[in-house]
Amino acid sequence: MAVEVVMPKLGMAMKEGSVSLWHKKEGDPVTKGEIIANIGSEKIETDLEAPADGVLLKIAVPEGEGVPPGTIIGYIGQPGEQVGTAAAGAAGAKPGENAAADAALPSDAAPAGGSAPAEAPAHGRDIKISPVARKMAEAAGLDIAKITGTGPQGRITKEDVEHAIANAASTPASAGEAAASSDSQASVGLTNSALAAAPSGFVEHAEQIPVAGIRKVIAARMHDSLQQSAQLTLTLRADVTDLLALQKRMSETAQKQHEVKLTVTDFIARAVVLSLKRHKQMNSAYIGDRIHVFDHVHLGIAVALDKGLVVPVIRHADQYSVLDLSRHIKALAQQARSGQLGSDALQGSTFTITNLGAYGIDYFTPILNTPEAGILGVGAVTDTPVYRGDELQRRSLLPLSLTFDHRVLDGAPAAEFLRAVKDALEDPYRLVL
């Protein structure tokens, strides 16, 4: 009997997941424990292992389509084993849907010519089509009632829409159709002016990537952050020459005695925590019509992954030393990159640090991780000639970019906080005492 492959629940807060990549095709042999797909949720990307030996009989949910946890996304069984019609109809269906009733209708029950059933409304609301495919069809101006679905029970998939778009592009259009298809042409990446200048019959093709998983959440949160807050960024440079010397000396000792390599990021985190304790208005959030000022610092550290950005949280960071912060930062970053972070580890931060110094970036404008009131962007250390008194010295300068919510606090208190971070970094022994 075929074994169901289901969408796992990656955390208590997970509402939807998608297959970022299928590593196997239908008919490919699989071994129990072998990675067969990459699964992405709102905040987590992880590998999905085969639950049994056999072959991948059916892929019920294509890449990029969002489905609730517990949804059947595929079947594994023995070569030649058939997946029942009812089971295939249920695969890819959301939990609670009456898939059995749908399965009673054969997939070839449509009238001759491939037209939609007579009872289907003109706008195709009852036509079986995946959310991704529907959006692609709407963007291309296609009538989904005229698309033949190849999925379970005739469901229209992303691939079906892609084929329909390709066929429409290769079919000469009448003058009336050409005028009606201007929106469809624009959807493949050409502006109206560019289309007017293009040679007759020329169509520019572009890859269309579904927005799903982590990227979908990042897109929504970043857009909402800019729309729902009043963001302003302040910048300055901190002289970290003495800090780098201290970090080098302490790192050697920490490596020998505690097997921990201290980095500049660890000291920056400590400087931020101490400054937040002195400037509590920055350790706050704008929620509803109230400003929530927090007693403890729950520090978010942005981690870049191949699929996007996640922000694991160090809870009660104000209770940790530089050495403790270093351990937590490294452990959370490792868990994030290996896909082992739970959704609970990505919630509840009161302030965030994001570091682009490894890419040679100086200043930038980080976007708030709302509802937080502040986020600190860290750039690349550069050696710069600086006058100290009458003497010109070579000093190491660190660019800092603070974005804050002007609804929560004004420029002066935000500047005072940023100056406090600078002062702490320039007097590094305060960070270890």
Active-site residues, by number, are 406, 410
Which tokens go with 101?
């009733």
What single-letter DSSP state applies at residue 156? B
Determine the Cα–Cα distance for residues 35 and 46; give it in Å rounded to an integer: 10
Determine the Cα–Cα distance for residues 40 and 60; give it in Å rounded to an integer: 16
Determine the Cα–Cα distance for residues 186 and 184; give it in Å rounded to an integer: 5
Q: What angle (nearest 5°) sits at the alpha carbon of residue 167, between those of residues 164 and 170? A: 150
Determine the Cα–Cα distance for residues 62 and 130; give it in Å rounded to an integer: 9
Which tokens go with 323?
């050495």
Closest CA to 349 of 276, 399, 267: 276
Continuous H helices in 124-174: 131-140, 158-170
> From the DSSP assignment, how many helices (H) and strands (E) are in the chain?
12, 19
- Helix, strand, coil shares, percent, the chain, to 5: 35, 25, 40
End-to-end Cα spacing for the chain: 65
E strand map for 28-140: 29-30, 35-40, 45-49, 54-59, 66-67, 72-77
Where is 222: in which H helix or E strand?
A: helix 213-228
Closest CA to 368 of 327, 398, 409: 409
Using the Cα atoms of residue 341, residue 343, residue 349 and residue 355 in order, give the sign of their dihedral. positive
Determine the Cα–Cα distance for residues 324 and 97; give it in Å rounded to an integer: 49
Closest CA to 376 of 357, 355, 398, 353: 353
